[in-house]
Amino acid sequence: MTVLLVGNHQSVFPVEITKKLRENKIDVQHVDFVSLLIETKAGYDRTYAELLERTNIHPKLKSLVRLRLIKQMLQQSRADIIHFHYARWFYFWLAPMISRLKTPVAVTVYGSDYYRISPLKRWLQRRFFQVVSEITFTNEATMKALSDAEPALGKKCSVTRFGLTPLEAIDRNRQTPKAQMCEALQLPEFPLTVACGYNANPGQQHLKIIEALQMLPDALKAKTLFLFPMTYSGTEVYKNEVKRTLEKSGLNWAVLEDFLQGSKNAYVRLLPDMMLNLQVSDQLSGSMQEHLYGENVIIAGDWLPYDIFKERGAVFETIASFEELSATLEQVIKALPKYKAYGKNNRKVITGLSSWNQTIGAWLRLYESLQEKKQ
């Protein structure tokens, strides 16, 4: 079986699912949406990437050329299944062609591609959803949101979770001394470390977090390092704005900007005592799960779709608004040993939910079902 996967070579989830599917004898051709470079087991196919590179026009018009080339790629593909990762709203332009394809087409919704778009873009996105064979999600809450909004699409919706390979690195580094982790990340060592968000996207709401943290008692602020992992997503302009705000905040702070892999990425999950996850929206954050697996004590926004963790027994605090953050954080820190005691339980919950051994079966069943439709 061959799958043409339209994803992103810089995004961990398409890269990881490509690797795991190949381990299960599925031939995956991974297309990078930005460059149109196609990564295969044998190497790289630059056919469409070179056509895009030779297009010397305004960047906005180049996006239209990219879509035309993707259309051409799908029409010429001999793959058994086509799978889009991330439901870009402008894929509606491909809908007429997709409706005529004999090849089954699936799309996996990541979360922000559905929640963080305007009503008009969502209306256009709906046309794309109407013509694909299957729509998958990484959690039930987002699937329900779409199914409730578009009942006719409900019958083609299912959940396929990504496994989390970083869990393996966390286990390998779990016994690393705190001082060694701080040295590797070039961070000062404080009695308490609180991670604030997990990337540089403005949707993490760093500025609101900083405003709330300034309301903490001085004694608590003095012993705490507030760590802002901003190693991917976002822009330099936004990161600089966050840093300027931190410089005037009176907090002990550090910003991580270099992309981290392997042990250093694991240290960002293991070093913090606590993690604040108060982003605007989410589907099923891998980073949130990794912090739970690293036995961090979590404070999350109750507007985020994390009931799935609590239903399986995970323990973490939630707040309904930023006005509650400083008081809740102070309360949790006072009872930190009690919350820390839930760490091993939270590890078990994430193992059952997101280890690749538990999740890969749903992806394999999805492709088996789609291949049957083709026949």
- Chain centroid offset of residue 160 CA: 14
Of residues 299, 261, 296, 297, the one with CA closest to residue 279: 299
Of the two residues 112 and 134, the one the predictor is more confident about is: 134
The distance in angstroms from the start CA to the end CA of the chain is 13
Cα distance between residue 252 and residue 241, in whole Å = 17
pTM of the model: 0.71
Cα distance between residue 263 and residue 282, in whole Å = 26
Nearest 5°: CA angle at 323, between 194 and 311? 65
Residue 283 pLDDT > 70, yes or no? no
pLDDT band at residue 59 under the 50/70/90 scheme: confident
- The class that CATH gives domain 166-353 is alpha beta
* Cβ atoms of 27 and 3 closer than 8 Å: yes
Cα distance between residue 117 and residue 92, in whole Å = 14
Can you give the pLDDT at residue 195? 98
Can you give the pLDDT at residue 143? 93
Q: Is the dihedral of CA 295, 144, 200, 207 positive or negative?
A: negative
Task: Identify the burial level of 236 via C-beta atoms within 10 angstroms of its C-beta, where 0-12 means exposed, 13-18 middle and 19 or more buried.
Answer: exposed
pLDDT band at residue 276 under the 50/70/90 scheme: very high
Cα distance between residue 356 and residue 368, in whole Å = 18
pLDDT tens, position by position, 74-105: 999 999 999 999 999 999 999 999 999 999 99
Residue 33 pLDDT > 80, yes or no? yes
What is the location of CATH 3.40.50.2000 in the chain? 2-163+356-374, 166-353
Of residues 98, 113, 136, the one with CA closest to residue 17: 136
Can you give the pLDDT at residue 375? 59
* Cβ atoms of 336 and 65 closer than 8 Å: no
What's the Cα-to-Cα distance from 32 to each of 19, 35, 40, 367, rounded to whole Å? 15, 6, 11, 21
Cα distance between residue 272 and residue 195, in whole Å = 6
pLDDT tens, position by position, 237-260: 999 999 999 999 999 999 999 988
Q: Is 273 left (phi over 0), alpha (psi -120 to 50) or beta?
A: alpha
Q: Which CATH code fits 2-163+356-374?
A: 3.40.50.2000
